[in-house]
Amino acid sequence: MIREMATENAPLLRPPRWWEGAALYQVYVRSFQDSDDDGYGDLQGLSSRLGYLADLGVDGVWLSPTMPSPDTDWGYDVSDYYGVHPELGTMQDLDQLIKGAKAAGMEVLLDLVPNHTSSRHPWFVEAIGDPASPRREYYVFCDPGPDGGPPNNWLDSTGECAWALDEASGQYYLHNFLDTQPDLNWWNPAVHAEFERVLRFWFDRGVAGFRIDVAHGLYKDAELRNNPDAEIDSAQARFGREPVYSANRPETHEVFRAWRKLADTYDPGRLLLGETWVWDPERLASYTGDDDELQLAFNFRFALAPFSAPHLAAVVESSIATLGEACPVWTASNHDIGRFASHWGEGDVRRARLGLMLLCSLPGTVVLYYGDELAMTDVAVPLERQRDPMTKGNRGGKEERDRGRTPMPWSSAPNGDFTAPGVEPWLPLGPLPAGSVAEQAADPTSPLCLTRALLALRRQHLAPGIAAYQTLSVDEEHLVYRVGDLVVALNWVDRPGVLKVPSGRVLMSTTLERAGDDVEGSIHLAPYEGVIIGR
């Protein structure tokens, strides 16, 4: 695969794209800001906080699902691809958000769910109601297996059988997630045509691109063969099955090549960012193709790696070796995996600061999840307050996802100014190791102020464009790397360290206290401290 890289001797041969080196920010809309005091965040609430995001320094905002949905999977069960969920607002609210974001120098990405629909989508309602309808071919229906049971051994995301019986016809339909989320049949050209219309509709309204849900899973094996047993359970292979035939089929790449051609007809081009749950770097790179498929693909091997210098340095190096410096996406939190300040930081704000410096100083694109900039941690949501049917009560052995979806704490006031005092927020707020937005904004050494400084430095030195990366040294306790014209030195342990680094001047430290210090070949770092050095 051809990868374009920029070095001092070989500059990039084309203008940089806006997302190269950019910082994106994922907003879980229901938890960001409530404007109408019903306990749920909404689009008007998000619009009211655009100034905060502009001050933070992000280049684009990715919204969790905004399309109409019965919410059995909180928007990832879409019932209308051309609308706005009434609990979140109106189409006018979304248009105003896009307009306001652009005026503030930010783009807006929507979440697109092409792997499945809601069982209440008109396509499926027609398909289930009339087996002779052309809509039946929009979904994966199949006769029972030889034993009269499900057609094969595929399991859904909760570990249960991935097939639901349509008793009226005697056939089964496929659902790789909940049975309220029937999988679409991408072998049907009509499905391709439907989604190309969806893309055009939103691109024409000014949407800058899409985060594509389950991007690796569109096509399924035409013969519906059994998945093989897995040697061990992992983030990819769970419940004793390797998803060889239920995901990562080669035909999926044709979809993204077609979508990329469509996206590139717009000026500027529209961004396709894939949720790609694949572990092998070469397979991850295949989703960007020869710069003719997705422009960006999430790198979950990085997000779920142990928080150690050798592990993360190895993931960074292998990712860049296969993707180049333009394509990697670095994130450590989201609505599914929870918050990095918990699984990397273990609640220690110093470790969270180190993670923020790593995230914000790598080439490619960084995606922060709302609250990352506050070192916000997972919240232990009591069972009676959990709202996610997919994981409530640790269903299927999964850690419940509500822990990372709790409301944004704007202040120390009741309900954190997320919603009005006396209104019960849809999920409870939790403790804040480093304080609310207002408290951190008043503290010049806070994680929020660190993130603002990191993103400002990133915009000055790494974006827009492609920066070369080189690991200078790594061991169990330290990592030093060069990115563009910067050197980053990270002390990964809870004791002081001395690191060999190129001479220069400290531009920033994770404590925000050492800017301007001269460096002559080595630097002393405090426990869990990191610095960025310039020439």
Q: What percent of the chain has pLDDT over 90?
A: 91
- What are the pLDDT digits (tens) for 432-451? 999 999 999 999 999 999 99
Residue numbers of the domain that contains 193: 23-115+189-458
Let me know: does 449 contact 460? Beta carbons within 8 Å: no
- Whether residue 118 has pLDDT greater than 70: yes
Of 59, 183, 213, 529, the active-site residue reads 213
Provide the 10 A C-beta neighbour count for residue 451.
Answer: 25
Q: What is the mean pLDDT of the chain?
A: 95
- What are the pLDDT digits (tens) for 290-323? 999 999 999 999 999 999 999 999 999 999 999 9
Angle formed at CA 339 by CA 337 and CA 342, multiple of 5 degrees: 115
Q: Which position has the higher pLDDT, 182 or 235? A: 182
Q: Band of the pLDDT at 6, cuts 50, 70, 90?
A: very low
pTM higher than the cut 0.85: yes
Q: In what order do the strands lie in the sheet with 141-142?
A: 141-142, 171-174, 163-166
What is the CB-side half-sphere exposure of residue 331 using CA atoms within 13 A? 30
Give catalytic status of residue 166 as yes or no. Answer: no
- What are the pLDDT digits (tens) for 62-97? 999 999 999 999 999 999 999 999 999 999 999 999
- Whether residue 2 has pLDDT greater than 70: no
Q: Are residues 101 and 134 in the same domain?
A: no
Residue 234 lies in a domain: yes
Residue 465 lies in a domain: no
Q: Are residues 405 and 321 in the same domain?
A: yes
Residue 391 lies in a domain: yes
Q: Are residues 442 and 316 in the same domain?
A: yes
Select from 148, 174, 200 the last residue of a domain: 174
Give catalytic status of residue 213 as yes or no. Answer: yes
Q: Are residues 385 and 336 in the same domain?
A: yes
- Cα distances (angstroms) measured from residue 158 to each of 177, 258, 394, 417, 453: 7, 32, 10, 35, 41
Number of residues that make up the chain: 535
Of 275, 325, 373, 417, the active-site residue reads 275
Give the DSSP H/E element, type plus range, for residue 504. strand 504-509
Residue 13 lies in a domain: no
Q: What percent of the chain has pLDDT over 70?
A: 97
Residue 66 lies in a domain: yes
Residue 78 lies in a domain: yes
Residue in this structure with the two tokens 């480093």, named with its chain if needed? 434
Looking up residue 525, the CATH number of its domain turns out to be: 2.60.40.1180
